[in-house]
Amino acid sequence: MPPTASTVSARLLAARLDELGRVTDEPGRLTRTFLSPAMERANALVGRWMREAGLTVREDDTGNLIGRLEPQTPNPRPKTLLLGSHLDTVRNAGRFDGALGVVLPIVALAELKRRGVVLPFAVEVLGFSEEEAVRFTGAYIGSKAYTGRLRAADLKLADARGNILRAVIEAHAGRRFTPPKPAHRTSNLLGYLEVHIEQGPVLEDRNLAVGVVSAIASQTRGRLTFRGQAGHAGTTPMDLRRDALAGAAEFVLAAEAYARRRAPLVATVGTINIPSGAANVIPGETVLSLDVRHPSDAVCRRALTQLIASAQKIARRRNLAVAWQPTMQHHATPCSPALTAQLARSVKAVQGKSLSLVSGAGHDGVVMSALTPIAMLFVRCRDGLSHHPDEYASPKDLAVALEVTVDFLQRLATDCTD
Ligand code: GLV
Ligand code: MN
Ligand code: MN
C-alpha cells in the first residue's frame, strides 16, 4: 500500500524528533536545561520548522518559543487555540518527553495545509523553556511566564552554581525583566492541547497507540536536609557519630516502604547531595530531594505530612536535625470535560476506541489550566519507559497521534464555522 500523506508526515515527525534529540548540552547524552546553549539551538531549529509551516515565530524573555498561525478565513473576532509542551529535558533524557508535543503540532498544521483545510481560528504552537526543574528546582518557569504566573519568589530561585533566576533571564534577554502578564485573555482562547508520551505502561498493556488524559495527579516536591556532625572517618567510633547520610539513607527506605503500602501513591528520592562529602569524612549534612504524587490532593498532602514526621523521628533517634523546604506543589488538575470529549471523539474516529488515563507525571497543562481549558493526548511508549535515553514511541503510533490531532483541529474548525 502506498504511504498516506500522514504516514509521510509521521516519518517526518520521527526524523525531526531524532534531529532535535541530538541537540544537547552534554556530548553523548541528551540534556537541555533552562536557557542553556542547547536550548538556544533547539529553539533555532524548531523555530525554522515553524517558519517552514507558515507560522510567525518569536521567543519571549524566558526562552519560550512561540509560533503563531493567523486564521485563514476572515474572522472579525478570531480566537486562538494553543498547542504545545516543553523543549527542556531531564539529564540523559529520551527524545520524546516534551519535544513530541511541540513538533507534532507543527507537522499537523503542515498536513492540514496539504489537505486544503483552512482554520477559522488562530493557532499558537508553544515550546516552553522549562518544565523539568533540572536547573532551578521549581518547575514550569516557561509556562508560568506565558500565563503571567511567574512570581517574585520564583525569580529568587538559585541554580547549583548560585546563579539567580532573575539574573539568568536578564542576561539572556539583555534587559531588565518584569514578570509578564498572561499572553492572552482567557476569553480569547479556545483551549490548550498537549500531546505527550504516556511515560507509563497502561497504553502498552491495553494495546492502544493513544489515550486521553482525564486529570494530572497532585504533586509535591521539596528538599529534606539532615544535619549531624562532620568528623574524622578514622578516629570517630561508630557509637559516637551523628552521620547525616546514614539518617537520610534510613529515610529513603522508610519513604519507599510507606508509598509501597499505599498505591497509587508514589514517593521518590531522586537526588542525594553531601556538601563537602569526602571518603574520609563522616557526612555532616545530606540534602535529599523528595517527590510525592497521588491523584487526590488530600492523600498527597497527608502523605507528605507523615513522611516529614517519619524523617523527624529518624533524626531524633539519631541525634540529627532535619528541615523540609518545599520547592514545588501543584494540585490535582482535571482536564476540561468538553475539550477532552472532543479529543476522545477524534481518538475514536482514528483508533476505534478511546481510553481515559490519569497522568502521574506533571505537565505544562497544569499551569496552562489556570488560563484556559486543557486536554491531553497520551501516546504509548515502549515498556512505559521515560526520563531515560531508551524512551521510544513507534512511527506507527506517532502516525495515529498525528491523525488524531489533525482530526481534532478539523472538528474544531467545523464547530467554529457552524
Ligand atoms: C515531569 O516530567 C515530571 O516530573 O512529572
Ligand atoms: Mn519529563
Ligand atoms: Mn514532559
- pLDDT digit string (tens) for the chain, length 418 residues: 455 768 899 999 999 999 999 999 999 999 999 999 999 999 999 999 999 999 999 999 999 999 999 999 888 888 999 999 999 999 999 999 999 999 999 999 999 999 999 999 999 999 999 999 999 877 799 999 999 999 998 999 999 899 999 999 999 999 999 999 999 999 999 999 999 999 999 999 999 999 999 999 999 999 999 999 999 999 999 999 999 999 999 999 999 999 999 999 999 999 999 999 999 999 999 999 999 999 999 999 999 999 999 999 999 999 999 999 998 888 999 999 999 999 999 999 999 999 999 999 999 999 999 999 999 999 999 999 999 999 999 999 999 999 999 999 999 998 887 6
User: Ligand 1 pocket test: which of 31, 88, 89, 132 has the largest number of ligand atoms within 8 Å of its C-beta?
Assistant: 132
- Is-above-0.75 flag for pTM? yes
pLDDT (tens digit, 9 = 90+) per residue, 224-281?
A: 999 999 999 999 999 999 999 999 999 999 999 999 999 999 999 999 999 999 999 9
Reported as half-sphere exposure (CB side, CA atoms, 13 A), residue 143 has a value of 29
Task: Please give the distance of CA 286 from its chain centroid, rounded to a whole number.
Answer: 27
- Ligand 3 centroid to Cα of residue 375, in Å, is 15
The residues whose Cβ lies within 5 A of ligand 2, an ion, are: 97
Q: Which of ligand 1's atoms lies nearest the C-alpha of 293?
A: 5
E-strand spans in 270-373? 272-273, 281-282, 285-294, 321-330, 333-334, 356-359
Cα→Cα distances 328→156, 204, 264, 265, 367, Å: 14, 30, 20, 17, 12
Closest ligand to C-alpha of residue 359 is 1
Q: How far is the CA of 405 from the centre of ligand 1 (A)?
A: 23
C-alpha cell at position 90: 531531564
Phi and psi dihedrals of 358, rounded to 5? Answer: -95, 140
Burial-class residue 205 by CB neighbours within 10 Å (0-12, 13-18, 19+): exposed
Model pLDDT for residues 142-198, shown as the tens digit of each residue: 999 999 999 998 999 999 899 999 999 999 999 999 999 999 999 999 999 999 999
- Test site for ligand 1: of 218, 363, 367, 388, most ligand atoms within 8 A of the Cβ: 363
**Ligand 1 pocket test target in 86, 100, 199 with most atoms within 8 Å of CB:** 199
